[in-house]
Amino acid sequence: MTWALRRQIIYILALVIFLSGLGYLIISPHLEKPPTCTDGKQNGDETGIDCGGSCPLACVSQVDNISVIWSRAFKVVPGRYNAVAYLENHNKNVAINKIKYRFRFADKNNVYIGKREGSAYIPPSGKFAIFEPAINVGYSIPVYVNFEFTEEPVWVTVPQNKIDQLKVSVSNIVLSGENTSPVLSAVVKNNSLFNIPDMDLIAILYDANHNAISTSRTYLQNVLGEESRSIGFTWPEPFYGKVVETEIIPMFNIFSVELK
């Protein structure tokens, strides 16, 4: 092989290597897709598959279960009851947009008398309640109430600044007519700049031993930022015990609120 031919081959090889490298630089962005939160792989800063890190979904393995503190049925009139589950989310900055649940009812002999199913949102951090109204049980009396979630939760991270800013207060709580037709009134204030499109307010009344003796619910629509509203709860019959403590729980879906 002559030197001229050898030099020509070297030039050709160098050109091939250069063009190959240039081609790789051009097409590699299309071959190697950047990690996303929906690619079915644990990559980037994720702590699980498509969860944790900068992904909106929180990993189930890193989230505490919701505690069911108690669940009970409260008589409204004979044959009709309201059911409440009192729960606690131990996680500070994750919430659930929607999850299905089920109440089941049994009489004093633990004989099944009915169920009620629904769906709810779970707020971040703290105690909250799920309310089911107007449950018809006929001549039965629901003594035992079981509450459970019927699907796996999908936990979503909520920005801490949103949690810190979204504060709703309840004041001027007044209960009257306990021995006839009870009425509970209060003032609710949205202490944030967020507009809350829908808000449920659940009232729970306690006796001296902190046993819940009755409950009710009311509803507000489109509570604007920094707005105050008057609310009221009514009962058709007197309570069977003396009310010494009242709790009103504002419930709203944190994922639906918007800055005004």
How confident is the prediction for the chain on average, in pLDDT? 90
* Cα radius of gyration (the chain): 29
The answer to whether the predicted template modeling score (pTM) of the entire model surpasses 0.75 is: yes
Higher pLDDT, 200 or 32: 200
Position of tokens 């979503």?
A: 156
Confidence of residue 10 (pLDDT cuts 50, 70, 90): low
Cα separation, 30 vs 124, in Å, equals: 39
pLDDT exceeds 90 at position 26: no
Cα separation, 197 vs 75, in Å, equals: 30
pLDDT exceeds 70 at position 33: no
Domain boundaries, the chain: 46-158, 165-260
C-beta separation of 219 from 260 below 8 A:
no
Domain boundaries 46-158, corresponding CATH code? 2.60.40.3230
Q: Which amino acid is at 62?
A: Q
pLDDT tens per residue across span 206-241: 999 999 999 999 999 999 999 999 999 999 999 988
The fold of the 165-260 domain, in CATH, is Immunoglobulin-like (2.60.40)
Beta strands in 58-182 (DSSP E): 67-77, 80-89, 94-106, 112-122, 126-136, 144-149, 155-157, 168-176
Cα separation, 98 vs 111, in Å, equals: 31
- Residue closest to 251 by CA, chosen among 200, 205, 195, 189: 200
Q: What is the DSSP letter of 62?
A: G
> Is it true that 46-158 and 165-260 share their CATH fold?
yes
C-beta separation of 58 from 65 below 8 A:
no
pLDDT tens per residue across span 64-84: 999 999 999 999 999 999 999
